[in-house]
Amino acid sequence: MLKNNFYGTPFEMEEILEPCFPGQYFRAEDYRLSAKGQSDDYQAIQRAVDACSAQGGGTVIVSRGDWKSGPIHLRSHVHLSLEKDTVIHFSDIFTDYLPAVFTRWEGMECYNYSPLIYAIDCVNIAVTGEGTLNGSGEAWWHWKQLQQTAADKLCYAERDGIPVQERVYGTEEAALRPSFIQPVNCRNVLIEGVSIHNGPQWTVHPVYCENVIIRGIDIVSCGPNTDGLNPDSCRNVLIEDCSFETGDDCIAINSGMNEDGWRVNKPCENIVIRNCVMKEGHGGLVIGSGMSGGVRNIYATHCQIGGGDRGIRLKSMRGRGGFVENVWFEHIDISDVREEAVQINMYYPYSTVVPKTATPSDFKNITIKHITGTGAKIAVEIRGLPEHRLKDICLENIKLSAETAIVCTDVETIELREIDIHANVNKSTEFVNINSLKVQGFSVK
């Protein structure tokens, strides 16, 4: 018996407590005047944060109305609170996000443009309220077409012996876009209630954080690689009651990329996802493909995925290494996705940079059950590597309709229990190179 599984998880996990803040308040409107007496909305919120921090912490209130702001760097014990009908429009002037700060860009450590809301080495921080954060991402999105040279250099930096302190970007020529909200190496983090629109790249991206609550946020961002939420080498994370409409994955769990992920060697673990809605994205509930530091103890339940490319998606490729283990998805409805409702794929084809090794990933102890839905192209696709097969996969109580039923290749051990697939076009099932297949209740109509 587990000693503690507060969230009903199949692994031990204690309750994550919300951060507490001193009972003093600072209104951003009181900090609009610069030291020279000039009105300066761009720095008002940051000045209020700094003043709050200097006095031991508290709550910074941003009042209703439209605000223009440069990057906001949170400090320990500071709570940023947006009143209802508050809209913060972040600057679209790239140099406002300099000097470069330490960050993780698509799973690799470097120095780059500051995220729009950033914190490093902080304790007890929060961004909450009923307002909207607008990232002016349209100004950055075309950089997707310009980033390849810098992305290649960064991805191969660890292999080429380039230390992190020499991986300095933050130029238009490099064109590596920043995340929207990124706490790095922080403890006790709360992001709640706010609407977040159109970030430059990944939207909410906690890195190396512990004890994180993300609750009731609404993310709408339709640019390239504008993932909704990417816990990255974090520990003890609760994600609940959120909605996503994104230009890439809705929730993607990560832990570093290739050699740099192996060097850092920090898993993403103890993650609970519940009662979330995914309206559009490349994947709804996703692990990878940047999971080279390992992913374990993931529990996702009672979510709705209605639209987008794929529903549940676990992805890797030769060269990633790392592991994914102890994963449970249950009570998920997946309807009207354009490709696979459920996919575990070791041949992920869309990596920004191609790995230089063929190091495989270990995927094992993955349970997917109580899955319903209609309208997929393929109900279930599971593809391991012939030289390194998947292990201990369990599909239970799956009721889906799709054009094609099930494709399953290169799996060491898999159990199928109470599988009911309505295949509208291709009713055949494909099982190739399976060492142990246990079936109890299997129907394809």
Has 218 been annotated as catalytic? no
Mean pLDDT of 176-205: 98
DSSP letters of 267-303?
-EEEEEEES-EEEESSEEEEE-SSBTT-EEEEEEEEE
DSSP letters of 19-63?
P---S-EEEGGGG-B-TTS-B-HHHHHHHHHHHHHHTT-EEEEE-
- Whether 39 shows a pLDDT value over 70: the answer reads no
- Whether 433 shows a pLDDT value over 90: the answer reads yes
Cα–Cα distance between 341 and 400 in angstroms, integer? 8
Domains of the chain: 58-444 (2.160.20.10)
- Whether 36 shows a pLDDT value over 70: the answer reads no
DSSP letters of 99-113?
S-EEEEETTEEEEES
- When pLDDT is cut at 50, 70 and 90, the band that residue 38 belongs to is low
With contact defined as beta carbons under 8 Å apart, do 122 and 80 qualify? Answer: no
Closest CA to 185 of 155, 156, 209, 169: 209
- When pLDDT is cut at 50, 70 and 90, the band that residue 300 belongs to is very high
- 372-427, pLDDT tens digit by residue? 999 999 999 999 999 999 999 999 999 999 999 999 999 999 999 999 999 989 88
Q: What is the pLDDT of residue 427?
A: 86
Q: What is the pLDDT of residue 166?
A: 98
Q: Which residues contact 305 (CB under 8 A, 6 or more apart)?
A: 250, 278, 284, 285, 311, 312, 332, 333, 334, 335, 337, 373
From the list 205, 282, 309, 333, the catalytic residue is 282
Closest CA to 109 of 223, 199, 208: 208
Q: By percentage, how much of the chain surpasses pLDDT 70?
A: 99
List the beta bridge partners of residue 439. Answer: 416
How are beta strands 78-82 and 58-62 bridged, if at all?
parallel
- 260-298, pLDDT tens digit by residue? 999 999 999 999 999 999 999 999 999 999 999 999 999
How are beta strands 101-105 and 181-184 bridged, if at all?
unpaired
Has 248 been annotated as catalytic? yes
Q: What is the pLDDT of residue 420?
A: 96
Q: What is the pLDDT of residue 91?
A: 97
Q: What is the pLDDT of residue 95?
A: 97
Q: What is the pLDDT of residue 125?
A: 99
CB count in 10 Å sphere of residue 424: 15
Sequence-ordered alpha helix ranges (H) in 91-172: 148-155
Instruction: Note the pTM of the prediction, 2 decimals.
Output: 0.97
- When pLDDT is cut at 50, 70 and 90, the band that residue 3 belongs to is confident
Peptide bond into 99 cis (omega under 30): yes
Task: Give the chain's mean pLDDT.
Answer: 96
How are beta strands 58-62 and 243-246 bridged, if at all?
unpaired
* CA distances from residue 60 to 71, 79, 348, 409 in whole angstroms, order as listed: 15, 6, 43, 54
- Whether 37 shows a pLDDT value over 70: the answer reads no
- When pLDDT is cut at 50, 70 and 90, the band that residue 189 belongs to is very high
- Least confident span in 130-134, 198-202, 358-362, 423-427: 423-427
Q: What is the pLDDT of residue 185?
A: 98
- 335-365, pLDDT tens digit by residue? 999 999 999 999 999 889 999 999 999 999 9
Q: Which residue has the higher pLDDT, 442 or 270?
A: 270
- When pLDDT is cut at 50, 70 and 90, the band that residue 40 belongs to is confident
Closest CA to 46 of 31, 24, 25: 31
From the list 205, 227, 232, 248, the catalytic residue is 248
